[in-house]
A and B are shown apart, each in its own frame.
Chain A
Amino acid sequence: MTDASPPPPPPAQAAPARVPGARSPLADGEWHRLHPLTPLFRGGLALVIVAGIIISNLRDRIIEWFLPLFAPELVTDQELPGDPVDYVLEHNLILVVLLTVLGIVAVLVGIFYLSWRFHTFRITGDLVEVRSGVLFRSHRRAPLDRVQGVNLTRPMIARLCGMAKLEVVGAGLDANVKLEYLSTSSAEAVRADILRLASGRRLAEARAQDPSGARGSRVAAASAVVSDGITGLLMGAEDPVDEPASVVHIPVGRLVASRLLSGSTVALLVLIGFIIVGSIVGSPWVLFGMIPALIGFGTYWVRTITRALRYSIAPTPNGVRITFGLFTTVTEILPPGRLHAIEVSQSILWRPFGWWSVKVNRLSGRGATDNQADQFTSVLPVGTRADVERVLRLVMPGLPDEDWPAVFDDGVLGPRDGDPFTNTPRRARILRLLSWRRNGFLVTTEALFLRRGVVWRSLAIFPLARLQSIGLEQGPLDRALGVASARAHTIVGPVSGSLGAVALPAALGLFEDVEVRAIAAAGRDHTHRWAGEEPDASGPAASEPDANPPAPQEPTT
């Protein structure tokens, strides 16, 4: 389907009746265009900036024109320096200039229009496809059974106009399929359809009674968008009504305090200390070095805090829904079985308050250099023990009940009496001077737990169904002490899989155990079609999806 011919006619008013069953009109397997205002948000900003530069350069001229009208007494006979406007006025070139400007604007509008016309997407039963480009056509397709999540991003300005970016997260570097922009309501509908298709559930079952695609004229649609935007602006709630309630509430005070009590604050204090010492010993002018440092840290704090504000996490039938961001709101849905590693950790600064954070390794589909990649790795920015337990139960629905004590009582807070973890042997405590009693592992049928650190306590959980491989390493010092390092290999992320100073027999046991259990767990795992049915089950499915993800049923391969 890589033909360069112009795409089929605009399906904006595609009749919903044509589709058997019911998807939203944008997910009916035909080619569709993005929202007509898309060019304004994608390229329009550049035009606004250019206009701004021109206007600011002409500021003096404009003042000179308008000042006599409002304050004639201030006008002096001072001659302004020559500029292009004078030149134009003197040579009677106004018409030419205006025509040129008009022509440039027309060409730009034409380019934007063409790029919008040629930018189409299609959602079929197996794929999400996007075609774009006028001269250089690009065609990107993402198989739905590899979808790692669907993100809905609403930058401030787009949010006011009721627009949203939809991003289908694929498995790979820079593998995301982006649909920007769609109106918020259709973006929500498209996301629901993508997730439903990816889950392997029949599309017809839901939404059969919801002919939401029946729109009136374009005017009506536009006015609906505007009124939605204004409502959202006033009510502050542009989310759909059926948004599930968050299981965790982070008070703003706690969030701000937790960001201030981070490692960067310590770094800032150290830096200020050095600057003060430097100013005493050397020149007092060094004190001015504090100003850029304070400005830098200030913007950093504001950015991290605004990004984490309005955080919510809630279960949906298609996975965990995480929302965050004050100005740019990001709503992501993580289908079950997409987390490769989960880590609960606590720095020493947070210990008096009993706060923890949860980070994950997941495929964000972004390039390694993308600085937005790290914001998708934090599942809980800060929370109490109860919050952490609720979040963990959401993100690890497959963990059996008997494993839960291992998570908090033994894992995060341990060791206590009857510790199930295998720890660093006494003879090797020189390798882990402080944490050798805590440094250990536990393998259950579903997960590998790595417990590390005393000052910086952490517990990493690796679902065995996602583990890529397991390795052992041993250097000369390890060999002399009769220990080895184990390393669980997962996809790249903030959670490290290495555990040093494990007694040799335990490490060899771990190696074999994890391998056997990982193979078994991977064989049981069918989360790539997390609500799938039998492949030969035809017709509309009768089974209503569970509220709790995932109930792995029959595999559809």
Chain B
Amino acid sequence: MTNIPEGTTPESTPTIIEPGSVADPVPGSGTDPVLDRRTYDAVREPRSANRLPLGDGTWHQLAKQYVWVRLISTGAMALLVAAIAIVASTLGSQMWIWIPAAVVLVVLVWTLVITPRQARAIGYQLRRDDLVFRRGILWQRMVAVPYGRMQLIDITHGPLDRGFGIAQLKLVTAAASTGIVIPGLTQEAAERLRDTLVDVAETRRTGL
């Protein structure tokens, strides 16, 4: 009895494993034509010398459309908040609404500003026996997961994601704190990555 990775959240495509449909496994190799199509080409790092270094190996990054998806959704949220505040303050003459609305707007605008930087800082590396994931500039985070530890892999894409042809890949182990979510892969890259990971996870399967 082994756990077959499967993804069954709403809004997600079922991750059906098709044996034989997988090309050569990626781990250990350098750049990959599918994973690296239309992506950024350099991981953004903090300037300090004491940062968590990139090390060697090839970092794969997110598709550039991901930034547009994030900008559109955050911008729409900001416009909605502003519209509600304007309506409430002009028609209902509730001037106090601007206090919470301003706080939310400042946060949203700040999110808009740093989104491109954040997207460039996210990267993942397929090593021989494990996957390394990194994100963040001010608060850096780096996680290494052995392939054998993966319990399931989940691909999600919302309506906006579909419009831009991107998907989010979530990697679940028995530990909730592992928390690896790779947003903004192109759909081909997400599917290829999932197939590769399922493939290597099967050959390196371990217990819990």
Which of A's residues lie within 8 Å of B, judged by CB? 126, 143, 145-146, 171, 337, 340, 363, 465-466, 468-476, 479-482, 484, 487, 489-492, 497, 504, 508, 511, 515, 518-519, 522-523, 525, 527-528, 557
Contacts and interface: CB of A to CB of B under 8 A. Distances in A.
Contacts of A489: 143, 173, 175, 177-178
B44 interface: no
B24 to A, nearest CB: 21
Contact of A519 (B50, B146, B205): B146
A145 B206 CA distance: 12
A466 B1 CA distance: 18
A466 B177 CA distance: 14
A519 B130 contact: yes
A479 B51 contact: yes
B53 interface: yes
B1 A504 contact: no
A487 B207 contact: no
A469 B176 CA distance: 10
Contact of B138 (A476, A482, A491): A476
Interface in B1-50: 1, 46, 48, 50
A366 to B, nearest CB: 15
Contact of A511 (B144, B180, B207): B144
B139 A474 contact: yes
B138 A469 contact: no
Nearest to A496: B177
24 contacts: A143-B1, A465-B206, A468-B145, A468-B149, A468-B173, A469-B145, A469-B175, A471-B177, A472-B140, A472-B143, A473-B139, A475-B139, A475-B140, A480-B48, A489-B175, A491-B176, A508-B53, A511-B142, A515-B146, A518-B146, A519-B129, A519-B130, A519-B146, A522-B148
A391 to B, nearest CB: 22
A470 B144 contact: yes
B141 interface: yes
B160 interface: no
Nearest to A468: B175
A142 to B, nearest CB: 10
Interface in B184-208: 204-208
B174 interface: yes
Given A497-B177, A515-B144, 20 more contacts: A126-B1, A145-B207, A146-B1, A337-B207, A363-B174, A468-B174, A469-B145, A469-B146, A469-B175, A473-B141, A476-B139, A480-B50, A487-B177, A491-B176, A492-B176, A504-B52, A511-B142, A518-B146, A519-B130, A523-B206
Contact of B207 (A504, A518, A527): A527
Given A126-B1, A146-B1, A472-B52, A525 B206 contact: yes
A363 B129 CA distance: 25
A474 B206 contact: no
Given A519-B130, A519-B148, A469 B178 contact: yes
A468 B172 CA distance: 10
A340 B174 CA distance: 11
Nearest to A522: B206
Contacts, number: 111
Query: Which interface residue of B46, B53, B173 has the most chain A CB atoms within 10 A?
Result: B173
Given A146-B1, A522-B206, A484 B52 contact: yes
A472 B141 contact: yes
B139 A491 contact: no
A504 B50 contact: yes
Contacts of B149: 468-469, 522
Closest 3 CB pairs of A and B: A468-B175, A143-B1, A489-B175
Nearest to B130: A515
B139 A171 contact: no
B206 to A, nearest CB: 4
Nearest to A490: B175
A363 B208 CA distance: 10
B99 to A, nearest CB: 29
Contacts of B48: 479-480
A473 B51 CA distance: 10
Given A472-B142, A519-B129, A519-B148, A479 B46 contact: yes
A480 B138 CA distance: 11
Nearest to B176: A492
B206 A171 contact: no
Contact of A474 (B1, B51, B129): B51
Contacts of B178: 468-469, 471, 489
Contacts of A171: 174, 208
Interface in B121-146: 129-130, 138-146
Contacts of B52: 472, 474, 484, 504, 508
A369 to B, nearest CB: 15
A125 to B, nearest CB: 11
Contacts of B51: 474, 479
A490 B204 CA distance: 19
Contact of B142 (A471, A476, A482, A497): A471
Contacts of A523: 148, 204, 206
A146 B27 CA distance: 28
Contacts of A471: 141-144, 177-178
Contacts of A126: 1
Query: Which interface residue of A466, A472, A519 has the most chain B CB atoms within 10 A?
Result: A519
Nearest to A521: B206
A540 to B, nearest CB: 24
Nearest to A483: B50
A263 to B, nearest CB: 25
Query: Which interface residue of B138, B148, B174 has the most chain A CB atoms within 10 A?
Result: B174
Contacts of A472: 52, 140-143
Contacts of A363: 174, 208
B149 to A, nearest CB: 5
Nearest to B177: A489
Contacts of A491: 174-176, 208
B171 to A, nearest CB: 9
A528 B205 CA distance: 12
